[in-house]
Structure 1
Amino acid sequence: MGEVELSCRAYVKMYLHASLFPRCSINGLLLSPSSQGGAVLITDCVPLLHSHLSLAPITQLALTQVDVWCSQTQQRIVGYYQANACIADSSPTPCALKIADKIAEQFSSAVLLMIDGAKMSPDDRVPPIVMYERKDSRWTLKDKHTIMLRQWEETRAIASQILETGDHTLLVDFDTHLDDITRDWTNQKLNNKIAELASPANGNV
């Protein structure tokens, strides 16, 4: 597998998901345009759960609904992310490996991304992520030099600003949607907020 590029929207939503549930393990799916080739461009993510990550029926329901939505919006599931409840532990759990394996069956260049809770301070100068790729039926650490997050300083500033204003509560994961089905797990309101902050009018790209 070659380079992986992570968009501002995808990173910010993962960061906010972990920040919204700091004492929980959280997970979600990574998305890419369905027609995209070459490098894996992760343009968005769908926050899934913040409780009972290993509960198979809920995970399967979420995967099915996201898959249908992706087919309607010309996207595809290209990876999985997770943050563990223990911030000192950023290793993939059996649950993470199982779901990532399932995604890799449909997309051979799938990525598994673990959020490093110990490095989630707004002052940290590098993204708090650890990425794995599937090689020879095993998930192995990916070379950091092949992972790109363009405009990292701006992306970090946007994530911090949304936290400071309390707008991170706009984020709706699939768990929250199941509790109240009127809440939008595709997170259009939050997507618009991120786009607004990232617009050239605000000095960002």
Structure 2
Amino acid sequence: MDDGTDGQTVTDGRKTYLLVDGENLDATLGTSILQRRPMPEERPRWNRVLDHVERHWDQPVSGLFFLAVAGEMPMGFVQAVTSIGYRPIPLQGEGKVVDIAIQRTLAALAERDDDVVLASHDGDFLDEMGRLADGERRVGLLCFQEFVNAGFRELPGLEIIDLEYDVKAFNTTLPRLRIIPIDEFDPLDFL
């Protein structure tokens, strides 16, 4: 809300936690959309994602980027996401370590008043996201809409945010097949 003195926005102290399941997004981009390993220039611009969420919900964002590390720390990537404002969370161990860590983080956030955006398509997070979609906070799912686990669409109050169409996180247009609202149809896209 505007404080009436200098035009700056004043929040109620809440913030948004953005939890990024990088492996899930990268696998969906590569396997389902590009049908090959994405080139660096075809990956999301993660700074745009942070900026979009902060502007969209008009409050500070804390970005947590979860990644599994099989061998050595991927220092180039870790330094890159750190420099744009994410806190990297490199994990190692048995099982789906990224899923386990995100589930634990979502459960911990249920005890707080902050808002949450999960960047993933994975149905393994349905229970935790369902608990967060309690009407007391804003809850979002950042994804490629056509690949979202159907259970997410049934969560009341969950906002689905498309990584390409809403966030504009890519420098190129991805070869996605989607239903096109007639107001957005441009025949030049197909000629």
State which structure, 1 or 2, has the greater radius of gyration over its C-alpha atoms. Answer: 2
Q: Which has the higher helix share?
A: 1
Q: Which has the higher strand share?
A: 1
> TM-score, normalized by length of structure 1?
0.33
